Structure 1
């Protein structure tokens, strides 16, 4: 039975209804489960629901489970012409017409407004800077407090900049809140199983029937992220890892977010992005990288040093002044040049970043990217028992947009499910 700690269970379903199975327990799988449980269909019929997963939120970090490693802030990449992604990501809480929409920004903003930072969310001023571009994504204008920053107020070498109110997330806190909501909405009747499923057809194997029951599911929602590449019956060869390396530091004085985009996003996550993502608990995520097709699961030291250099260019306040004092004398026993106050005004030969003592952990995660973009559709039915069809709904391939689009895609996935059954 599901619990806040998401312990696995070996209990089986009872009754005559066919179960609904959700594959995956990252932010996509768990928000999809909540959306299903909140539906009128579930509340009136109470079918058995099972979440089947290799990895749970409180497990040790794993690069293939990107939800807990993500920097996790709400900053859309949606191209001005990509109405589907804009719909999932967008929408300011100031627009009364949007109060019924299950979009991530609106839902999370209201959670933060009602629960404060115990929600795992933090509202903050976000500054988005562009190098080589003189325009911003139109979707940013829908955020509260949107402002174009004048040239005189921009950092050096930045061609355009805007600021607005946005959100950051502490992934583990938020994911555990989702587990708690699943328990509450289902009255502890949703079962979460740590069970490796090699293929969709393996749902009819005795090892699967032992946990979900011997009746074939009425529907399966595939929220397996990077696992869609190897899951039998899906084996989507357009799914690729976008390796991201980030550094977690302790810097509670940072309460604003910063991102610098060098080059075009090209409708998704192109170019080089440098970001500073503070969290309510005083930790700050520094990034990052986007290395397509790179499966190396461990940090690279040269990448870490490059990140620490880049983040100081966009947020000098990361480094307190007491950490940047140069030596009083040079090797020639001459007085050092005066301190300028900028952490980058140091000897070029110095290899160790002034931020090194703030580092808590360096993390690597594989964003579940897909060459064709997020796959959110109903696929061909699955026949696990002769003459009985199981609807298959796909909700994976979000890349780096999982946290900012999770509620919007969850709504669409559940709508497809309800149409199917």
Structure 2
């Protein structure tokens, strides 16, 4: 139990994207803590460019590429998501279990042997110009449904939320998580802060991490309930990345792009057309079955089933995820600040694993301070 006597420790989590929500939930469910999420935007809000988590595809396809620490983080996350997606479970509706095939034009030797049904593709089964490929079973994530599931589960376990725009982490350190509530007279000091602001780490006072930068990703959502498999083709260094991600709902996410430091906040029409062209080339099955029975489909056959087009800013960081602790002045004494941000395009894939590390860092810091 992480408290002295029976008094839970007060923890503030800054940020309510998938990483902030997962971390807050992990800490709240651990026991011994009262966690409050402090954020400007929550998953039940309308989509905005300032909240990337709702724009994500998303599927669990690890980006670890041989990094043992990242692989461990991603493995743990997949295990949790696989359990959450179990048929009949409370979160089943957020996930779809599918066969996944990944092709690599640059010949990368990717092994995800810890994924179910993992196979290296023989050369004769590769698509044109692909040099390597793998297949396995994974889950896709209906990101709005899943983020709202995380939030509702967090609240049901006694977590709290405060909607505000934090200008500097010292505001929370001195005044507590509820200092922003108008007319709130009782100051509740926090014992620690966990910082999960995504791209906001660039500008949040007390953090201002200039190693954080956006990787703009544009995508298109189609209504194609006949698609029940995932397919990805990774290009080398040209900012392109074609993926087909079906959701349980029957919607299918088609993408995409990976462009560093591109801040344009809405979908570019010419990019949408290009994404549809690449998506159809990789997956002709995107076109309605009645069209394919008559002739070879074209992009114009996809436009009537387009539901939405948009983009998001993946919160990348030079050097990868920041998972470490610093100490700052609190209301009465120095308190630990745990950092958990910089996940880039792997926020969903690494959410539970990085939350576990953040919890370990928190517990270790509180032990060192004599508070645990």
Whether these two folds match at TM > 0.5 is yes
> Equivalent residue for 1:83?
68
Task: Output the CA distance in 1 between the equivalents of 2:365 and 2:302.
Answer: 53
Corresponding pairs, count:
356
Asked if residue 306 in structure 1 is aligned to residue 274 in structure 2, the reply is: yes
Of 319, 326, 337, the residue aligned with 1:392 is 337
Query: 3-state SS of the aligned residue for 2:315?
Result: strand
Query: 3-state SS of the aligned residue for 1:252?
Result: coil
> Equivalent residue for 1:23?
14
> Equivalent residue for 2:370?
none
Of 232, 243, 251, the residue aligned with 2:205 is 232
Larger radius of gyration: 1
Q: State the 1:206 CA deviation.
A: 9.0
Query: 3-state SS of the aligned residue for 1:19?
Result: strand
Correspondence list, 1:359-378, <5 A: 359-378=306-325
Query: 3-state SS of the aligned residue for 1:407?
Result: helix
Q: State the 1:263 CA deviation.
A: 1.8
> Equivalent residue for 2:23?
32
Distance change (3 Å), C-alpha of 1:210 and 1:250: closer
Distance change (3 Å), C-alpha of 1:191 and 1:149: same
Query: 3-state SS of the aligned residue for 2:330?
Result: strand
Asked if residue 169 in structure 1 is aligned to residue 141 in structure 2, the reply is: yes
Of 228, 239, 259, the residue aligned with 1:291 is 259
> Equivalent residue for 1:254?
227
Correspondence list, 1:16-415, <5 A: 19-39=10-30, 42=31, 45=32, 47-80=33-66, 82-90=67-75, 103-115=76-88, 118-133=92-107, 135-138=108-111, 140-186=112-158, 190-203=159-172, 204=174, 208-209=178-179, 211=181, 213-263=186-236, 272-320=240-288, 322-323=290-291, 341-343=295-297, 353-379=300-326, 381-385=327-331, 387-415=332-360
Task: Output the CA distance in 1 between the equivalents of 2:153 and 2:277.
Answer: 40
The answer on whether the counterparts of 1:254 and 1:318 sit within 8 Å (CA) in structure 2 is yes
The answer on whether the counterparts of 1:147 and 1:164 sit within 8 Å (CA) in structure 2 is yes
Q: State the 1:312 CA deviation.
A: 1.1
The answer on whether the counterparts of 2:162 and 2:177 sit within 8 Å (CA) in structure 1 is no
> Equivalent residue for 1:267?
none
Task: Output the CA distance in 2 between the equivalents of 1:313 and 1:195.
Answer: 44
What is the RMSD computed on CA atoms of the aligned residues?
Answer: 2.2
Long gaps (5+) in structure 1: 1-14, 91-102, 265-269, 326-338, 345-351
Query: 3-state SS of the aligned residue for 1:52?
Result: strand
Scaled by the length of structure 2, the TM-score of the pair is 0.90
Distance change (3 Å), C-alpha of 1:206 and 1:251: closer
Query: 3-state SS of the aligned residue for 1:412?
Result: helix
Scaled by the length of structure 1, the TM-score of the pair is 0.80
Distance change (3 Å), C-alpha of 1:141 and 1:223: same
The answer on whether the counterparts of 1:111 and 1:119 sit within 8 Å (CA) in structure 2 is no
